[in-house]
Every structure is written in C-alpha cells, then in structure tokens.
Amino acid sequence: MSPSKLDSTASFGHEEASVSRSRSENGSADSLSLFHSEKAVEELLQQTPVAGMDEHLIEFSEALRTVAKALRRAAEGKASAQAEAAEWKRRYELERTRNIQMERKVSGNNNCEMLQRWWIRSSLDNAMGMLRIMLPCLFFWEVGKEQNKRMLEARMAERLSAETKGCIDCGRVKNSDNQLMQQNESTEHSEKICMNNGIWSHEVLCDRESDSNSNADLNNMMNKASFKLSWWCNGENGDQHKHDIVSFEKGDITTAERSSKQISLKWESDPQTVLILTKPNSVSVRILCIQMVRWLKEKKKLNVYVEPRVRTELLAESSNFNYVQTWKDDSEITHLHIKVDLVITLGGDGTVLWAASMFKGPVPPIVPFSLGSLGFMTPFHSEHFKECLDSVLRGPISITLRHRLLCRVVRDAAKNEYETEEPFLVLNEVTIDRGISSYLTNLECYCDNSFVTCVQGDGLILSTTSGSTAYSLAAGGSMVHPQVPGILFTPICPHSLSFRPLILPEHVTVRIVVPFNSRSPAWASFDGKDRKLLAAGDALLCSMAPWPVPTACQVDSTNDFLRSIHDGLHWNLRKTQSFDGPRET
Ligand SMILES: NC(=O)c1ccc[n+]([C@@H]2O[C@H](COP(=O)([O-])OP(=O)(O)OC[C@H]3O[C@@H](n4cnc5c(N)ncnc54)[C@H](O)[C@@H]3O)[C@@H](O)[C@H]2O)c1
Ligand SMILES: Nc1ncnc2c1ncn2[C@@H]1O[C@H](COP(=O)(O)OP(=O)(O)OP(=O)(O)O)[C@@H](O)[C@H]1O
C-alpha cells in the first residue's frame, strides 16, 4: 500500500490510522503501527461508499464476464453440434448410396432368397438411417435452424416414399442397369474402398433442397456427372487404407490412419457441363477462351457456361456462340454447383481464388490453366489444353483437396455471438491489419478457449496451407504442403522479436478480438478482397470450412507443390560447388 493511500485514508479522521501515520512520519514505524494502519484501511474500505461501489462494480463485471463466457460456450457448442449434424448427413448419404448399389445388384438376380435377405438388411439400414436423421433433426429443432430442418425433413420424406414404392432413387438415369452392373463388377475393389472410405462426390455436390424446389433443378441434377473419390497412400499394408486413427493391440499404440492422402477422382458417368472462368482484360486469355469453348462444344459435345461478361465478349466475336450459357443475376450463382461438373480457370492464382469465391458451399473440381506470372495453384499449360482436358475428362485424375477457412465477423463480440454477418470462405487467407491507421494493431487472439497472445504490430494473417506460399510466406510464415490440414498463424511485422509464426491444428476455432483499449479499429480482408472494419469489441471467428476446393493435379499434389515452389520462387536455387576445391583427406 502506498503512503499516499495511507494518508488519504487517515484523512477521513480515523483515530488509529492517524496515530500510525504520525509514527511512520517520525520514522518510528513498527509492526504494531503497520498492523493498525492496515486494519484502519480495511475498516475504512468497508465503511466508505466508494469501497461499496467498487465491490458492486467488480461483482457486476464478473457477472458480465460469466454471461459472455456462457454465450461463447453456447456458440461453440452450436458450432460443434452443426459439424456433428453435417457428419451424420454425410454418413446417411453414404449409407443410402450403398443401399442403391445393393438394390441394383439384387434386381439383376432372380434369387428370391437373396431378395428376402436384402429386404431385411435394407429395412434394418433404413431404420438406422432414420435414427441418424432424427438426431440432427432434433438438434435443428432445438437451435431453430429452420433451413437445415427443412432439408433434413425433405430427405426423410424422400426416403419414406422410396420405401413405400419399394424402390429407391437410382441416381443417374443415363447409364443402363447392365452398364452399371458391369461397372460395379470391374471396380469391385475400388468400390469396396469407396464405400468405407471414399467420398461420393455426386452426393456431396447434389443440393437436394433445390431438387425438391423445382423440376427444372431436378433435371439439372440428373444431368450432373457422377464420380467417386478414393484415397490412397504408400503404406506398409499394400496401400490399404485403415479406419482406425490409432490401433491398440497388445499394448502397442500404432497410428494407422494418415491425415493427408493423395486423392484420386474417377468419373462414374461422363461430365456434361463445364464452367470456364477467365481473368479479365487479357487478350491472350480471350483468344484461348474462344478456342477452348469451340473445342469443348464441337469435339466434346459439352454444355459450356461462362460469366455474363465473357458471353458478351464471345458474342461480339461471333453470333455462333449463342449456345454458350450464363446466368442473369447473382442468386443463380448459388445453384451453379448443381449444374457444373467441372470448372476451368484461365488466368493466374487470382483467378483460382475468384473461382473458389463463387462457390459458397461445395465446389466442383477445378482445372486451372496457367496464364499468369507465377501460378502456384495453376499447374496446367495452356498450349496443351486439348491433351490436358482430354485426360481430365477421361479420368482418373489426382486432385488436391485445398482446405478453406470459414470466417465470421461478430459485432461487439461479448453481446452478439449469435448475430454474425454473412460468413466468408477463403482459400488463401484472412488478414487483420491496421488499414490506414498509423497506430499498431492490438489484437487479442484465442484458440478455442485458450488465450494465444496479443498481436501488436501491423497485423495478423490466418492462412490455409494453400495460402502458405502467398501473403503468409512474405510475412515470414512457413511453406506448407496444401494437403496438410492446419491454420497458419502468421504475424505481420510484430513489434516483438520473439513473435514467431505458429501452425495450429485444423480442428480449432481461432478468435481474434479487437479489445476496447485498442487505439484504432482493425480491418479484415478475405483473400485480399472485401475489406471489413473491426471496431473495438468486434471479433473474427475462423475455423476450417467443410467445403474444400478440389483442384486437378498435373502429376499429383506433392509433385505439383514442389514444382510450384521451384519454378515460382526458385526455392533454394544455388550454384553447386565445384568438385575441384579443398577436400578432406
Ligand atoms: N506481400 C504479399 O506477398 C502480399 C500482399 C497482399 C496480398 N498478397 C496475396 O495476394 C492474394 C490475392 O491474389 P490476387 O491474384 O487476387 O491479387 P494480385 O493480383 O495482387 O496478386 C497477388 C500475387 O499473389 C500471388 N498468389 C496468390 N495466391 C497465391 C498462393 N496461394 N501462393 C502463391 N502465390 C499466390 C499471385 O500469383 C500474385 O502474383 C492474397 O490472397 C494474398 O495472399 C500478397
Ligand atoms: N473472372 C474474374 N472476374 C473478376 N476478376 C477476376 C476474375 N478472375 C481473376 N480476377 C481478378 O483479376 C486479378 C488478376 O488475376 P490473376 O491473379 O489470375 O492474374 P495475374 O495477376 O495475371 O496472375 P499472377 O498474379 O500470377 O501474375 C485478381 O485480383 C483476380 O481476383
């Protein structure tokens, strides 16, 4: 306790306090007088109205903190429940697909016994499927997510009606049953892997909500190419993928699953619709686009979609291009993923970012052609576009599943965790910087519920591993293989020399808060676009998005990544030492 405080408390006229004060002033303070002073202060604090108010304020602020914590926990609980619901949904889709496959096999066989067994199993599966739908349904009723609830209900209804009719939707109508049977037999092995481990991208890309909305959409969905994804890795057991993340046999813990694998895409039916996205204001891009559209339509008989700007350019070139399709307003863009089998980009990395930003949910596979200066994400050479597209359309192709970050701005974070603005999906990074302010940014950072640090500097980059070769790299972050799931936490010019970049695991939610004592607001930008002001009290929540961006590889994801850093950055390029120098003897 400072002497001035003692003085001020003594001036309230407490007798013992004034005695102790005079003694200490005379330099004869002893333990007794100290004891008296402390006691006096304590009593005084209890008596004075100021002390009472302080206590109330402390109590009040603690109560506020508790409320904020509870709100935060509820929001985090909500997010994890949503993720769980999505997982159930995915499993339901997988199971349904399995039933369809089984039904096809059974329908080709006249054996009654088999049919009987299938029906028993199918009914059991259906019951399980129903249970699995019911759980997320209950959850959505709870949290009032009306839209998701409708979607799940529609699926339940669809399943019920399929049961009543005694048949289940057979997916693509294009292939005949015989063809499918042959296909099934010839791909038995990969199918087995797929059923257990793969992603049935046809299902992932389908928006069932919209197919119940209109027949037109249903037709579009029927026209969408079906493919399946399987993954592989060079493991010890004949490249076999295992289910368990960790196996525990006879006391030995062994990691069995690798978090990152090379993904392979195999078309199950031919792609029919292609979307071409082009960098604007480039003559070479325009010329290539014209050639490509012609070739895709005339030689490959594909439907071609382009942006409205490009359609106008094509029609200015020749009125023959009136078969090229486009959209009228932005709301139609939200349905693109249902119609489009493949996206082709003509430009640099910025055009791939542009393509990714058009899909706020699932993204069809992207084939990026390099017409920029660097091209970390654009492995295909435009001179050989016919050969490249031929091989992609034939399949199978290796793809890189590029993770995206889902970013939500929460205004006045403590109060409004439920009222978030429209989220942003970024393929490279979200940057929080000081904008035009000349003050240091002051950002409080949390990883789930743990405080990470306070960023004082020019700002912070939260990057995907695909973005690790972009802004994050320039700010001193590491380069990371794009298939590694993780969130890069890279400060921009930190005002502390010990502030090194971090890489956080994929499952965390990072929360960046502009504290109330910050000297200036901060600015968030998403893949270098869409700047948003973050005022004091606002927060940015960032977690891994469920919809990655699948980009086709020239060779495979590792080869393409290494080539891009060698060619793009001349990484570790150094003249080799000559052999005729000094040698150890
Ligand atoms: N100091 C910097 O390095 C810096 C500063 C601002 C923005 N950027 C990057 O620019 C991106 C936006 O790109 P744009 O094309 O719309 O803007 P732009 O036209 O200004 O190009 C930025 C450059 O970044 C490169 N780039 C983009 N994504 C990359 C990636 N994943 N790996 C390696 N290089 C990549 C592009 O090839 C281009 O050369 C942002 O997401 C950000 O990563 C970098
Ligand atoms: N279809 C599009 N519509 C509008 N803007 C686009 C489109 N495609 C790309 N862009 C924007 O154009 C800019 C340049 O694109 P991109 O990076 O692909 O070309 P580049 O700058 O020549 O390539 P590099 O960056 O490799 O030199 C980017 O900011 C990107 O966001």
| Token pair in block for residue 225 | 């190419």
The whole model's pTM is what?
A: 0.67
Residue 50, judged by CB atoms within 10 A of its CB (0-12, 13-18, 19+), counts as exposed
Q: State the distance from the centre of ligand 2 to the C-alpha of 281, rounded, in angstroms.
A: 9
Query: 127: which 2 tokens?
Result: 């019951």
User: Which mutation among 327, 354, 374, 469 tests ligand 2's pocket best, with the greatest number of atoms within 8 A of CB?
Assistant: 354
Predicted ipTM?
0.94
pLDDT at 501: 98
DSSP characters over 481-540: -TTS-EEEEEEEEESSTT---EEEETT--EEEE--TT-SS-EEEEETTEEEEEE-TT-EE
Q: For the beta carbon of residue 530, count every other beta carbon within 10 angstroms.
A: 13
Contact 413, 513 (CB under 8 A): yes
> Per-residue pLDDT for the chain (585 aa), expressed as one digit of tens each?
333 333 333 333 333 333 333 333 333 344 444 445 556 556 655 555 445 667 778 887 788 877 777 777 776 677 667 766 776 777 777 777 778 777 776 555 545 455 455 555 555 555 455 555 555 444 444 444 455 555 555 555 555 454 444 433 333 333 334 443 344 443 344 344 333 444 443 333 334 444 444 455 445 545 788 888 876 655 444 444 444 445 556 666 766 666 667 899 999 999 999 999 999 999 999 999 999 999 999 999 999 999 999 999 999 999 999 999 999 988 899 999 999 999 999 999 999 999 999 999 999 999 999 998 989 999 999 999 999 999 999 999 999 999 999 999 999 876 766 666 789 999 999 999 999 999 999 999 999 989 999 999 999 999 999 999 999 999 999 999 999 999 999 999 999 999 999 999 999 999 999 999 999 999 999 999 999 999 999 999 999 999 999 999 999 999 999 999 999 999 999 999 888 888 887
Give the 3-state secondary structure of residue 302. coil
Pocket test for ligand 1, best of 349, 353, 484 (most atoms within 8 A of CB): 349
- End-to-end, the C-alpha distance of the chain in Å comes to 72
Contact (Cβ atoms closer than 8 angstroms) between residue 431 and residue 460? yes
Q: Whose CA is nearest to atom 30 of ligand 2?
A: 350
Instruction: Give the pLDDT confidence score for residue 410 in this predicted structure.
Output: 92
What pLDDT shows up at residue 447?
97
Cβ < 6 Å from ligand 1: which residues? 348-350, 353, 372-374, 376-377, 428-429, 466-467, 469-471, 474, 527-528
Tokens matching residue 435: 């904008």
Ligand 2 centroid to Cα of residue 349, in Å, is 7
Torsion of CA 191, 196, 202, 203, to 10 degrees: 150
